A and B are shown apart, each in its own frame.
Chain A
């Protein structure tokens, strides 16, 4: 699980990058705000995750 600080309240939001890419949203335990990946950047994230997984597989 990755984490980022909630832009609204600053609490940690845990998220799974693969699930985020699939369209799942993750909520903040502090303020109940929900984050998700904008459609316009899905391709970029998909490509980066793919490259990263390849890198892990090669090692």
Chain B
């Protein structure tokens, strides 16, 4: 009779390194690709390359913004109410600050590995035996004297039947399921990008020119 398969044996030899490491490496590679495409986008769209490749400088692309400020105008009449007017000015803003920059990356990798080993063995045996015996006998004898006569009739019948059947059924099945869930989400901006954005944003601050007497 075949033995049931050993569960431990089924799990040994599984390429666990590939099963777990494979999706992780793929996720890291996807992250790398996403970072590279974002960097390319920033450099191509938000900066203007100047000079040759060896000695290139990148100037941020600036866009024009409108700034509307309320200005209080004192009344020309003594004791009159001041009036508020709005003044429109323009200022340049680095395009990069307008882009909803983020770090799109694979932030979660779920590897679930279900292996189901099913082993079943079934053995069916059935044996049928039927024996029937029918015996029939009839005997008639007649014995006489004088003219000698003798009659012997006889009949014997015998019937015997036997049948047997044997069924053996062996069943074994293996199934394995491997599922990998990868989720891409937003990560905080890398510090370096934050520093660049901060520097660019500060570049729009109005610069106070020194006064004639040397103060500022």
Contacts and interface: CB of A to CB of B under 8 A. Distances in A.
Interface in A1-37: 2, 4-5, 7-8, 10, 17, 20, 25, 31-37
A56 B202 CA distance: 27
A5 B206 CA distance: 11
Given A4-B93, A38-B90, A41-B64, 19 more contacts: A5-B204, A7-B67, A8-B67, A17-B98, A17-B100, A20-B98, A25-B66, A34-B69, A36-B66, A36-B68, A41-B63, A45-B63, A49-B98, A55-B37, A55-B38, A56-B104, A58-B37, A59-B30, A59-B37
Given A5-B204, A5-B205, A51 B45 contact: yes
A8 B67 CA distance: 9
Interface residues of B, number: 32
B214 interface: no
Contact of A38 (B41, B63, B98): B63
A2 B98 CA distance: 7
Tell me the dominant secondary structure on chain A's binding face: mixed
Tell me the dominant secondary structure on chain B's binding face: mixed
A48 B66 contact: no
Interface residues of A, number: 29
B99 A5 contact: no
B67 A45 contact: no
Contact of A35 (B46, B61, B65, B70): B65
A27 B164 CA distance: 97
B142 to A, nearest CB: 114
Contacts of B68: 25, 33-36
